[in-house]
Amino acid sequence: MMDAREEDRREAAEYVLGTLDAAERSAARARIARDSAFAALVTLWERRLGPLHELAVSVVPPEGLLQDVLRDLPAETAEPAAAADAQETAPAEAASTLPTEAAPTEPSADLLAVEAQAAELLPVPPVVAEAEIRELEKDAGLEAAASADGNAQRAAVATPVVSEPAISSTEPSPSLQPSLPGQKGLPPAQPAPSSAARNPWRMASGLMAIVVLGLGGLLLRDAGRGDKVILQPAPAAPTQHEAVLTPRSAPRVTIKLDPATRRLEVVGLTVPPEGQTYRLWLVSQNGTRNLLCAFRDPTALAPDLTGWTGQGAAMLEITLEAAGDAPGQGAGEVILAGPLKQL
Amino acid sequence: MANSDVVRDLLLAVSLGDRDAFQTLYARTSPRFYGIALRLLRHSDRATVALKTAYLAIWNEALALRASLDGASPGAEGGPAGRQAAEALEELIGDPLCWMVAHVRRTALDLAREQPSDDGSVFEPFVVEDPADDPLASEERSRELLELLGCLGHLSEERRRMVLLAYYDGWTRDALSIYFDAPVHGINTWLRRSVGEIDAFMQ
């Protein structure tokens, strides 16, 4: 028999899990509002189960949703000066420390100092980066990637579960098991209608399916990395791309990128202050950041497009950095950013 | 920098009312969050509503955190003070991504329960016609996830499946009862045991 405390823990867990019906859920919500101990239990379970999001399948959100959200935000409050610093730090630091293919970046000890300096010398106002990262090209290989051999990685993810001794093997084999020899005890997929077996996405209700699909994305991303190439997406014919970078109250900056001619054209950007340089970065959808070129004169560019096939890029960013700094030291405050669109 | 660190820094900026940081945060997190909401609700219009509600709540709650953050680390945005702010935020909300995910699931589940869909779509396998590259994707699984998976591995297969179907697909006890062909009180018992075991393992 459960005592009241145990019952509270169970109720909090089921609230987070989602198994309560409408009335129970409504009662739980009311209780969260008035009972801080119960609210703390809910938070505890949200933190415990939260990491499962890492295995969730990502889906392109509807276009316009961001604008819809922004429209409904409360009226703008006075923006503290510190806000700008905080904003700059996050994306710039993030990008500079994510793994890169060409590895143009190095860690910097005086990251924050240089950032502060760059902030004072902004030639253009902070930009509103278009936040909707569009998928540039639908990859026909995605389904194949989702079900492709990736046993090493699957095993790595599934290890903690595989190693558990208490897993029942009495259930009928889930539909994914035939493709996973030797993976006894992996979390099961939700049994699906027979048609599901033909389409990996249709199997994606149980944990194993989630793992496979999640890894499908990883496999695709791995395709560009030399050390872990598992599946190479079909190379696309080089086509011209364009990114429109739109500062909040400054002329529009347009960058045209042509992988066929290796030409890159920047329109609408002024020469930076003395001692400063622009650096142009190609940011892929997984956050990998490659330096295309550094320049002061926007009409004379020598981009390095060797690492770009036209696939997988999501965004262009321009940072303003001290000319003497090594690229990617993190000093780069992102002053302009915008998604690449295929023309 | 790990996803959670990036999201944490963005949230700190959002707590100052920084809309640009909010847009960056949206760009980074929305594909995954939309996938989570869509799987729970199965209809894009409903998932869109839930996601919008969640992001508005995230904005409002991030702003509301500012007073506590200022109290914990006055004037903090860079250097040691910035780290102090980051630690203060983590103290308040835990892992920032899990905190955001909790908002998304909460709003999606509220909508699912208050306006249940009668078309049986919840029992359909989750089909993704428009899968996205995930800006949050990482080869590394977090220690917390691995611990949780290890813990779930101790449950019997059926009970593990039950927990995962509830978490990812938002199935109620009634839905689980139909799926597992078991009476609701039996499902109740299984859930109770599962939750108790997870609780015991994770304490």
Mean pLDDT by 10 residues, chain B (203 residues): 85 94 96 96 95 96 88 57 83 94 97 86 80 83 93 94 95 92 94 94 87
Contact A48 B101 (CB under 8 A): no
Q: What integer pLDDT is reported at residue B51 of this predicted model?
A: 97
Contacts of B44 (CB under 8 A, 6+ apart): A62, B38
Tell me how close the Cα of B132 comes to any Cα of chain A, in angstroms: 5
For residue A279, name the pLDDT band (cuts at 50, 70, 90).
confident
d(CA A215, CA B137): 9
- Please check whether residue B10 is in contact with residue B23, taking contact to mean a CB–CB distance below 8 angstroms: no
Contact B52 A69 (CB under 8 A): yes
Indicate whether A56 pLDDT > 70: yes
For residue A340, name the pLDDT band (cuts at 50, 70, 90).
confident
For residue A149, the one-letter residue type is D
For residue A206, name the pLDDT band (cuts at 50, 70, 90).
very low
* Contact residues on chain A for B33, CB-CB shorter than 8 A: 61
d(CA A30, CA B193): 25
Task: Report ipTM for this prediction.
Answer: 0.94
> End-to-end alpha-carbon separation of chain B, Å?
29
pLDDT averaged over every residue in chain A: 57
Indicate whether A45 pLDDT > 80: yes
Neighbours of B127 (CB within 10 A): 14
B-chain residue closest to A84, CA distance: B18
For residue A213, name the pLDDT band (cuts at 50, 70, 90).
very low
Q: Which residues on adjacent β-strands are paired with residue A59?
A: B131
Q: What integer pLDDT is reported at residue B65 of this predicted model?
A: 92
Secondary structure letter of residue A127 according to DSSP: B
Q: What integer pLDDT is reported at residue A289 of this predicted model?
A: 72
Residue A205 has φ and ψ, to the nearest 5°, of -110, -30
Neighbours of B27 (CB within 10 A): 24
Q: What integer pLDDT is reported at residue A292 of this predicted model?
A: 79
- Identify the three-state secondary structure at position A113: helix
Query: Which member of B1, B78, B113 has the closest CB to residue A21?
Result: B113
Please tell me which residue, B50 or A289, carries the higher pLDDT value. Answer: B50
Q: Edge to edge, what strands does the sheet with A313-322 contain?
A: A263-267, A253-258, A241-245, A333-342, A313-322, A276-284, A289-295
* Contact residues on chain A for B41, CB-CB shorter than 8 A: none
- Identify the three-state secondary structure at position A23: helix
pLDDT in tens, A15-37: 999 999 999 999 999 999 999 99
Q: What integer pLDDT is reported at residue A25 of this predicted model?
A: 95
* Contact residues on chain B for A77, CB-CB shorter than 8 A: 17, 63
Query: Which member of A19, A21, A61 has the closest CB to residue B191?
Result: A19
Contact B155 A166 (CB under 8 A): yes
Query: Which member of A25, A46, A90 has the closest CB to residue B113?
Result: A25
Contact A22 B113 (CB under 8 A): yes
d(CA A203, CA A176): 8
Tell me how close the Cα of A114 comes to any Cα of chain B, in angstroms: 12
Among A4, A64, A70, which residue's Cα sits nearest to residue A35?
A4
Indicate whether A152 pLDDT > 70: no
